[in-house]
Amino acid sequence: MRKTLLFSLLVLLTLYITITGIGCTSQNSDVMNGDEDLTKYVNPFIGTAFTGHTFPGATYPLGFMQPGPETGNFSWDYCSGYFYDDEKINGFSQNRLNGTGIVDFGDLLLQPFSGEKREDLSSTFNKSTEVATPGFYSVVLTDNDVKVEVTTAPHVAFHRYTFNADKTAGLLADFQSGLVWSKDRISTHVLENVVNFESDYIITGYTRRREWTERTYYFVIEFDKPIVSKELLEQRDPREKAPRYILNFDLGNDSVLNTKVAMSTTGIEGAKSNLAAEGKERSFDDVYKDAKKEWNRYLSKVSIEGTDEDKTNFYTALYHLYIQPNNIADVDGKYVGPNGKISQSPTGKFYSTLSQWDTFRAAFPMYTILSPEIINDLVNNMLEFSEQKGHLPIWALMGQETFTMIGNHSIPMVVDAYLKGFEGFDAERAYSEIKKSLTEGKHKNAGWEEYDKYGYYPYDLFKVESVSRTLESGFDDYCAAIMAKKLGKTEDYEFFMNRSGFYKNHYDNETKSMRPKDSKGEWLTPFDPYRLAHADSNIGGHYTEGNALQYTWHVLQDIPGLIELLGGKEEAGKVLDFLFTTEQESTGTLSDVTGLIGQYAHGNEPSHHIAYIYMYLDRPEDTQRLIRQICKNFYQNKPDGLIGNDDCGQMSAWYMFSAMGFYPVNPVSGELVFGAPQLPKTTLNLDNGKTFTIEAINLSEENMYIEKIELNGSIYTEKFITYDDIMNGGELTFYMTSNQ
Per-residue pLDDT at 26: 37
Q: For the segment 75-102, what is each residue's pLDDT rounded down to a tens digit?
A: 999 999 999 999 999 999 999 999 999 9
DSSP 180: B
Please state, in angstroms and as integers, the Cα–Cα distance from residue 611 to each residue in 284, 580, 665, 723, following that order. Answer: 46, 9, 10, 21
Among 38, 71, 649, 620, residue whose Cα is nearest residue 303 = 38
Cβ(559)–Cβ(720) below 8 Å: no
Cβ(647)–Cβ(364) below 8 Å: no
CA distance 388 to 384: 6
Q: How confident is the model at residue 535 (pLDDT cuts 50, 70, 90)?
A: confident
Torsion angles phi and psi, residue 161, rounded to 5: -110, 125
pLDDT exceeds 50 at position 32:
no
Q: Which residues of 457-554 form beta strands (DSSP E)?
A: 507-508, 513-514
* Close Cβ partners of 657 (under 8 Å, ≥ 6 residues apart): 362, 365, 366, 663, 664, 672
* pTM of the entire predicted model: 0.95
pLDDT exceeds 90 at position 179:
yes
| Percent helix, strand and coil across the chain, each to the nearest 5 | 30, 25, 45
Per-residue pLDDT at 34: 56
DSSP 154: S
Q: How confident is the model at residue 394 (pLDDT cuts 50, 70, 90)?
A: very high
Per-residue pLDDT at 569: 98
What's the N-to-C CA distance of the chain in angstroms? 69
Q: Which range is least confidently modeled, 28-42, 136-150, 185-199?
A: 28-42
Per-residue pLDDT at 539: 79
CA distance 740 to 729: 30
* Close Cβ partners of 147 (under 8 Å, ≥ 6 residues apart): 11, 14, 15, 129, 138, 139, 140, 141, 161, 162
CA 55, 56, 62: angle at the middle one, nearest 5? 75
Q: How confident is the model at residue 529 (pLDDT cuts 50, 70, 90)?
A: very high
Among 298, 327, 332, residue whose Cα is nearest residue 315 = 298
pLDDT exceeds 70 at position 112:
yes
Q: Which residues of 494-571 form beta strands (DSSP E)?
A: 507-508, 513-514
Q: Let me know how many helices (H) and strands (E) the chain has, helices first.
A: 19, 35
Question: 720 in helix, strand or coil?
Answer: strand
Among 510, 527, 630, residue whose Cα is nearest residue 575 = 510
Cβ(737)–Cβ(705) below 8 Å: yes
CA distance 295 to 521: 54
Dihedral angle sign, alpha carbons of residues 404, 407, 409, 414? positive
Among 547, 647, 637, residue whose Cα is nearest residue 54 = 647
CA 257, 262, 265: angle at the middle one, nearest 5? 160
User: In this structure, how many other beta carbons lie within 10 angstroms of the beta carbon of residue 419?
Assistant: 18
pLDDT above 90: percentage of residues in the chain = 92
Q: Which amino acid is at 122?
A: S
Please compute the mean of the pLDDT values over residues 531-546 and round it to a whole number: 88
Please compute the mean of the pLDDT values over residues 113-137 and round it to a whole number: 97
Please compute the mean of the pLDDT values over residues 460-489 and round it to a whole number: 97
DSSP 584: P
* Close Cβ partners of 116 (under 8 Å, ≥ 6 residues apart): 168
Q: How confident is the model at residue 250 (pLDDT cuts 50, 70, 90)?
A: very high
Cβ(212)–Cβ(104) below 8 Å: yes
Torsion angles phi and psi, residue 390, rounded to 5: 105, -5
pLDDT exceeds 70 at position 5:
no
63 CB-contact burial (10 Å; exposed 0-12 / middle 13-18 / buried 19+): buried
Q: For the segment 226-238, what is each residue's pLDDT rounded down to a tens digit?
A: 999 999 999 999 9
Please compute the mean of the pLDDT values over residues 192-200 and round it to a whole number: 98
Catalogue the long-range contacts made by 84-90 (C-beta closer than 8 Å, 24 or more residues apart): 84/45, 84/48, 84/49, 84/639, 84/640, 85/49, 85/639, 87/124, 87/125, 88/122, 88/123, 88/124, 88/125, 89/122, 89/123, 89/125, 89/139, 89/141, 90/122, 90/177
pLDDT exceeds 70 at position 17:
no
pLDDT above 70: percentage of residues in the chain = 95
CA distance 42 to 134: 7
**SS3 for 208-257, per residue?**
EEECCCEEEEEEEEEECCCEEEEEECCCCCCCCCCCEEEEEECCCCCCEE
pLDDT exceeds 90 at position 445:
no
Q: How confident is the model at residue 552 (pLDDT cuts 50, 70, 90)?
A: very high
Q: How confident is the model at residue 25 (pLDDT cuts 50, 70, 90)?
A: very low
Question: 597 in helix, strand or coil?
Answer: strand
CA distance 393 to 354: 9
Which neighbouring-strand residues pair with 722? 671
CA distance 557 to 609: 12
Q: How confident is the model at residue 35 (pLDDT cuts 50, 70, 90)?
A: confident
Q: How confident is the model at residue 10 (pLDDT cuts 50, 70, 90)?
A: very low
CA distance 59 to 114: 27
| Residue count of the chain | 740
Mean pLDDT across the chain, nearest whole number?
95
pLDDT exceeds 80 at position 144:
yes
Q: Which amino acid is at 138?
A: S
700 CB-contact burial (10 Å; exposed 0-12 / middle 13-18 / buried 19+): exposed
Query: Given its phi and psi angles, is residue 34 left (phi above 0), alpha (psi -120 to 50 degrees) or beta?
Result: left
Torsion angles phi and psi, residue 159, rounded to 5: -115, 140
pLDDT exceeds 70 at position 7:
no
Please compute the mean of the pLDDT values over residues 262-281 and round it to a whole number: 97
Q: What DSSP string runs through 309-355?
A: HHHHHHHHHHHHHTS-SEE-S-TTSEEE-TTSSEEE-TTS--EE---
CA distance 703 to 693: 20
Q: For the segment 607-654, what is each residue's pLDDT rounded down to a tens digit?
A: 999 999 999 999 999 999 999 999 999 999 999 999 999 999 999 999
CA distance 263 to 271: 5
